[in-house]
Structure 1
Amino acid sequence: MDFSQLELSSKIGEGWKYPQPPLLDSGWLQVDEAPAHRLYWEEYGNRDGEPVMFLHGGPGGACAPVMARFFDPDRYRVILFDQRGCGKSEPNVASAGAAVALQRNTTDLLIADIEKLRDHLGIAGPMHVFGGSWGSTLSMAYAIAHPANCASLVLRGIFLGSKADLHYFYQGNAATWQEDPYGLATPGAYIHYPDEWRDFLAILTPDERQDVMASYKAIFDMVPATAEERERQLAAALAWSVWEGATSNMIPEAADTGKFGEADFALCFAQIEAHYFANALFLPPAHFEDNAATLASIPVHIVHGRFDQVCPLTQASRLVAALRGAGAEPASLVFTNAGHSAMERENALALTAIMDGLPRI
């Protein structure tokens, strides 16, 4: 058999239930000064429909029109927007630099941005809040701050962002990799993606691998003085971005890194993620567990890939346990035979089915 002819992919491809809806409207909304952060937003579906606020991942991942395909365009008014510092929002980390675009870029300010965007778009009552990965984190943080504005939370690839969660994905066996690259010194995503892990660590010296996240953050924080330093900073951003892009799919597509291999995307994605992770997501420890009663007052729908290595299933399990401890079952709980990406077929279809079945606002 010629294995080069096999086409292995878990992506949804042509399997979407709904076609790509046309763009209804778009624009920028200034939400802050010094720097003057402007959010780029787009609107799809039914102008008079039930509002859905789509919160993208990363942080720093940005939105794309295809993200409107999870929703019945006759029923829902879908709002996509790029969070501070990334995508088409301004100032952008890739173009303006991290020193500018990461000023006043915290979780509390992102929550305030959602409120300003709601007001700008005339959304007065409850809305559905839909987010995956970091988008699930921000969705829950928003719901804790503004529960009355949430008709439902539809969450995919739960990310709670504890030190252990980040260590699993970014540290793994890095400290001993030089001596024993295939050793199973500690749990981690590296076990399932050894070649991608090798490329991720290749940017760092053996000493720097003792604390991978801190070492990458130091590279991102550097003000390059030479062409070599600029090249290393870009290479680090690309390595960070491609590592997450590859591991987001149960079947990685090594020949096609997609947006994760594009310089501008990677510079935003990597530096914004490192900024939030170095600051514990700008949230108190155990924020979601401690506020489970508030989350339990809202219908919470969860879709999580059983083979997710970016945000392992234990994070969804911890959230479910917290909800049950507060006296509520998740309104939906679907563990798919998929990885992390929302664009994997089983995840995408499960999310669409949940949106189709929600009680109307």
Structure 2
Amino acid sequence: MYPVAPLLDSGRLSVSDIHTLYWERRGNPDGIPVVFLHGGPGFIAKAEYTQLFPPDKFHTFLFDQRGAGRSTPYAELKDNTTPNLAEDINRLRLHFGLNKWAVTGVSWGSALALAYAQTYPEQVTHLLLRGVSLAERSGADWFVQAGTHHLFPDWWEDYEAFIPSAERHDMMAAYSHRLNCGDSSVELEAAKQFNVWDTAISALRLPLDDIAEIRKDPATLLSVARLFCHYAANDFFLADRPIIANMDKIAHLPGHIVHGRYDMICPMSAAWKLHKAWPASQLHIIPDAGHSQWEPGIISKMTEILHIL
């Protein structure tokens, strides 16, 4: 990996009556413009992500999506939909006076990248997607209800135990209720349990340090749990414009798909399905990786692609 790309500047952009986004520009101001879309929804665009990008080659734009990280208001659900976020990306492009840019999206950010590209195909030069999500309810159910508990029954036990048995038939709804109940202690405990589960199944090697951090300070990840449940319960606000059904709009765009063979959060079937619907894409299956951005095989392939892009 490279050093964290130097910060050029940072600021805030108002995108609605209530939402203001935090953004950063890093790297080479004369380099190839690329916008990085973080996962979640609700995570944060950490500067460390720029370690994948050759700093002399890329002019990298980072921002925290609505309700996430340093954007305000924190963990806000109102006016927070996928079409809203796609328009925000375009507002940022116009704010910086760019005609086109490359788009990199990870996990949920890959679905957002595709939704944005399908809305503004003429403004995208290239797509680089990692840990692909197609923003489908079936994928969300696999993660929180119907699939991964068979592989991680030990970690599922605590995640499930937080919810009374009468409500366990719909873990998404049960967690969503507690994440929005108005009692901060209950909301934070729900956020802790949700994010510990998410993190425990994210990598081949159990990330114990990350889990310890979540248990110590769950408030920083309230947005992840709350926004994920909000988006998933609403079919990621893409029921009328599903990603795969609209791939013809970006069939011409070149792109790379990087996916861990043992991704338990976004199963590889999503990456395969996307690749089959996108003739211009190249699929890179990492044989010894899960979902995490920081697995060695993922890092190696992402930096390799960005070096030759």
**Do these two structures clear the TM 0.5 threshold for a shared fold by scoring above it?**
yes
Matches within 5 A, 1:224-263: 224=183, 230-257=184-211, 260-261=214-215, 262-263=217-218
Specify the alignment match of 2:87 in structure 1.
Answer: 112
What secondary structure, in the 3-state scheme, does the structure 2 residue paired with 1:309 have?
coil
Instruction: Calculate percent identity across the aligned residue pairs.
Output: 39
Q: 1:255 deviation in Å?
A: 4.7
Specify the alignment match of 1:333 in structure 2.
Answer: 283
What secondary structure, in the 3-state scheme, does the structure 2 residue paired with 1:292 have?
helix
Rg larger for: 1
Specify the alignment match of 1:355 in structure 2.
Answer: 306
Q: Give the TM-score normalised by the residue count of structure 2.
A: 0.95
Specify the alignment match of 2:129 in structure 1.
Answer: 155
Partner deviation per Cα, 1:228-286 (whole Å, 9 max, x = no partner): xx422211111111111121111112354165443222211110111111111011267
The yes-or-no answer on 1:43 pairing with 2:25 is yes
Contact between 2:199 and 2:207, CA under 8 Å: does it hold in 1?
no
Contact between 1:63 and 1:80, CA under 8 Å: does it hold in 2?
yes
The counterpart of 2:5, out of the listed 8, 21, 27, is: 21
In 2, Cα distance between the equivalents of 1:21 and 1:81?
A: 15
Partner deviation per Cα, 1:192-237 (whole Å, 9 max, x = no partner): 322211111111011111111111111123233xxxxx42221111
In structure 1, runs of 5+ residues without a counterpart are 1-15, 94-100, 173-187, 225-229
In 1, Cα distance between the equivalents of 2:108 and 2:74?
A: 19
Q: Cα–Cα, structure 1 residues 23 and 255, in superposed 2: closer, same or farther, change >3 Å?
A: closer
Contact between 1:248 and 1:308, CA under 8 Å: does it hold in 2?
yes
Contact between 1:245 and 1:260, CA under 8 Å: does it hold in 2?
no
Specify the alignment match of 1:322 in structure 2.
Answer: 277
In structure 2, runs of 5+ residues without a counterpart are none
Q: 1:116 deviation in Å?
A: 1.1
In 1, Cα distance between the equivalents of 2:210 and 2:121?
A: 40
Specify the alignment match of 1:203 in structure 2.
Answer: 162
One-letter identity of the residue aligned with 1:211: D
In 2, Cα distance between the equivalents of 1:232 and 1:103?
A: 21
Specify the alignment match of 1:53 in structure 2.
Answer: 35
| Mean CA deviation greater in 137-146 or 104-113 | 104-113
Contact between 1:304 and 1:316, CA under 8 Å: does it hold in 2?
yes
In 1, Cα distance between the equivalents of 2:95 and 2:123?
A: 15
Contact between 1:44 and 1:78, CA under 8 Å: does it hold in 2?
yes
Q: Cα–Cα, structure 1 residues 239 and 40, in superposed 2: closer, same or farther, change >3 Å?
A: same
Specify the alignment match of 1:297 in structure 2.
Answer: 252
In 1, Cα distance between the equivalents of 2:97 and 2:178?
A: 42
Q: Cα–Cα, structure 1 residues 274 and 334, in superposed 2: closer, same or farther, change >3 Å?
A: same
The counterpart of 2:243, out of the listed 269, 288, 310, is: 288
Contact between 2:263 and 2:289, CA under 8 Å: does it hold in 1?
yes
In 1, Cα distance between the equivalents of 2:240 and 2:208?
A: 36
The counterpart of 1:194, out of the listed 134, 145, 153, is: 153
Q: 1:162 deviation in Å?
A: 2.1
Q: 1:318 deviation in Å?
A: 1.1
One-letter identity of the residue aligned with 1:206: S
Q: Cα–Cα, structure 1 residues 291 and 110, in superposed 2: closer, same or farther, change >3 Å?
A: same
In 1, Cα distance between the equivalents of 2:102 and 2:59?
A: 10
